[in-house]
Amino acid sequence: MFIAGNWKMNTDVRSAVALAAAICERVAPSTKTHVAVCPPYISLDAVGRAIRASASPVKLGAQDMHFEQDGAFTGAISGAMLASVGCSYVILGHSERRQFFGETDASVNRKTLKAPANGLIPIVCIGETLTEREAEREEEVVGTQVRAALDGVSLTSADQLVLAYEPVWAIGTGRTASPEQAQAIHAFIRSLLVEQFGEGLGRAIHILYGGSMKPSNAPELLGQKDVDGGLIGGAALKADDFLGIVAAAEAVSR
């Protein structure tokens, strides 16, 4: 199981460190679930230090990166920079990046290919909009996104890649995919991973669900066969809620 918190454009440096400290304090080294927090760029260094100062196994992640290592890209942050502040993960292709910042399947693919060069594990986000779901096009849309993002990607172990299925209609809306809806599309994503990486790796890659997951609905969602964790937005901003989801993952523990 893997639970990652996407803090989006929330917290300043001080409150980010406080939130990270509150989480680290209660994620024991014996926790089987992999836990990561993804604060805004400005807080990565300070949060990384707070994590390292604790005895906790919590990992640091970023919310995006540029596909080049350096150069004239005003405002952008490279994978090398993320590695230099201790990031282990990077979220790529989040629907808000696609919707508001012109992220495309092609740029997600370039970033996914680049991340390992800096020792970063990509958390690749895919998911359909409400219109696409209502037109029953979710498999077509998600299939296109997965194939495009992973084009040319090769792995030597399953922990080098994480997928996050995030139906756009469930993000920040309070509306959650039903456990059955989540399982159905996760099983479809699993089949694509098996097709590309083979049975062993494809079955072991973590596929997270994201979209209004909270402590109350986490047990049922995480109980689905192909739901291997959660990418958490709103509920990641309150230590108690986030830790409640981590506890639900621990209870399922696989």
Contacts with ligand PEP by CB under 6 A lie at: 6, 166, 171-172, 210-213, 231-235
Would you tell me how many other CB atoms lie within 10 Å of the CB of residue 34? 22
User: In the complex, what is the shortest distance from the CB of residue 251 to ligand PEP, in angstroms, rounded to a whole number?
Assistant: 20
Task: Output 124 or 201, the one with its CB closest to ligand PEP.
Answer: 124
34 is catalytic: no
Catalytic residue among 96, 128, 138, 166: 166
Please tell me the distance from the alpha carbon of residue 100 to that of residue 117, in angstroms, as a whole number.
Answer: 27
User: In the complex, what is the shortest distance from the CB of residue 98 to ligand PEP, in angstroms, rounded to a whole number?
Assistant: 12
Please tell me the distance from the alpha carbon of residue 194 to that of residue 209, in angstroms, as a whole number.
Answer: 18
Catalytic residue among 94, 132, 186, 206: 94
Would you tell me how many other CB atoms lie within 10 Å of the CB of residue 152? 8
Q: Are 34 and 61 in contact (CB under 8 A)?
A: no
Task: Output 98 or 201, the one with its CB closest to ligand PEP.
Answer: 98
User: In the complex, what is the shortest distance from the CB of residue 235 to ligand PEP, in angstroms, rounded to a whole number?
Assistant: 6
186 is catalytic: no
Task: Output 193 or 235, the one with its CB closest to ligand PEP.
Answer: 235
Please tell me the distance from the alpha carbon of residue 68 to that of residue 150, in angstroms, as a whole number.
Answer: 18
Task: Output 39 or 202, the one with its CB closest to ligand PEP.
Answer: 39
Q: Specify the amino acid at residue 244.
A: G
Q: Which residues partner with 229 through β-bridges?
A: 2
User: In the complex, what is the shortest distance from the CB of residue 166 to ligand PEP, in angstroms, rounded to a whole number?
Assistant: 5
Whole-number CA gyration radius for the chain: 17
Residues carrying an active site annotation = 94, 166
